[in-house]
Amino acid sequence: MSEPLFEIRDLKLHFPIYGGLLRHQIGSVKAVDGVSFDIFKGETLGLVGESGCGKSSCGRGLLRLSEPSSGEVVFDGRQVTALSHKEMRAIRTRMQMVFQDPQASLNPRMTVSEIISEPLNEHANLKRRALIARVCELMDAVGLNRAFLNRYPSSFSGGQRQRIGIARALALNPDFIVCDEPIAALDVSIQAQVVNLLKDLQEQFSLTYLFISHDLSMVRHIADRVAVMYLGKIVELADTELLYQRPSHPYSKALLSAVPGAVASRRADAPREVLKGDLPSPANPPKGCNFCTRCPHVMDICRTTEPELKAVAPGQYSACHLND
Ligand code: SF4
């Protein structure tokens, strides 16, 4: 394992809820509620879980696009959470984000050239000729025809628009990219192309990814390790093949049972483990284990004591009292 690029300790993102006549704070949404993990240089860490479990908030928290409530985020030895806005602006050139919906994340009134050169104009101070040369280089890298330099996003397909977003993210030679559901808005036929492009670019530019997705098959294809999130917490973190072959946490088992053939040790005709009930509100999570309202193995201790994320095998961590 290489050195950690990110060291995240007890990170919390709690968003206040205001109510009443005087708009007092009456509670908070615990979108991310005390997660700790490392992201190693050159790896892809998959982050999976149901919608609303806090995956995107976690990614945004690492880049301080959403301000953490508490906890530590250390990026390449620097405490990101302690940096001023000016220092943060400088370091953010090394960390970028690719968004879910390329349609919404690209300004329809800007040409491809303007979109890709936007971060360069802000941070790189290149002369016109060098700027265009760099934009063309980036278009080549993501497989876009440089003849389309002056076209607008509306004249591209969804997959091509996502390539524009990726080119923009690469413009400043980042070390790290949060890919936030980058294929969720694309046709199935295009999804694999974009994931393969991300893999090629990772190799070419020595990138480190946090790959957020609810598509477990695609995560298996791209991730070296996977963190499973449930209601603001990481319930399992494991090497990808270990997780898919031998998931430990009851929630991971249920998630993976919904993907045919995902878990090698499951018989093809084994019944799917259907999760009962809805995801509880992150404004009012259950006491003890967050999963206790839906877990088929719930015990008394689960309703009072929060389980810690502990090693259950080399390269595999799980937060469940069944491992005690
Ligand atoms: Fe289920 Fe208890 Fe384990 Fe939580 S700690 S996943 S409720 S068995």
For residue 73 and ligand 1, the question of a CB distance below 6 A is answered with no
For residue 230 and ligand 1, the question of a CB distance below 6 A is answered with no
Query: What does the pLDDT read at residue 276?
Result: 77
For residue 235 and ligand 1, the question of a CB distance below 6 A is answered with no
**Which structure tokens are listed for 141?**
């890298």
pLDDT tens digits for range 176-206 = 999 999 998 888 889 999 999 999 999 999 9
236, 252, 255, 292, best to mutate for ligand 1 pocket (most atoms within 8 Å of CB): 292
Mean pLDDT, to the nearest integer, of 201-218?
A: 95
Mean pLDDT, all residues of the chain: 93
Q: Which helix (H) or strand (E) holds 201?
A: helix 188-205
Query: What does the pLDDT read at residue 261?
Result: 63
Query: What does the pLDDT read at residue 270?
Result: 65
pLDDT of 54 over the 90 cut? yes
Mean pLDDT, to the nearest integer, of 284-310?
A: 96
Tell how strand 310-313 and strand 78-79 pair up. unpaired
pLDDT-based confidence at residue 104 (cuts at 50, 70, 90)? confident
pLDDT tens digits for range 112-150 = 999 999 999 999 889 999 999 999 999 999 999 999 999
Ligand 1 atom at shortest distance from the alpha carbon of 307: 5
**Which structure tokens are listed for 83?**
């940096």
What's this model's pTM, rounded to 2 decimal places? 0.93
166-198: b (≥16 Cβ within 10 Å) or e: bbbbbbbebbbbbbbbbbebbeeebbebbbebb
Query: What does the pLDDT read at residue 20?
Result: 85
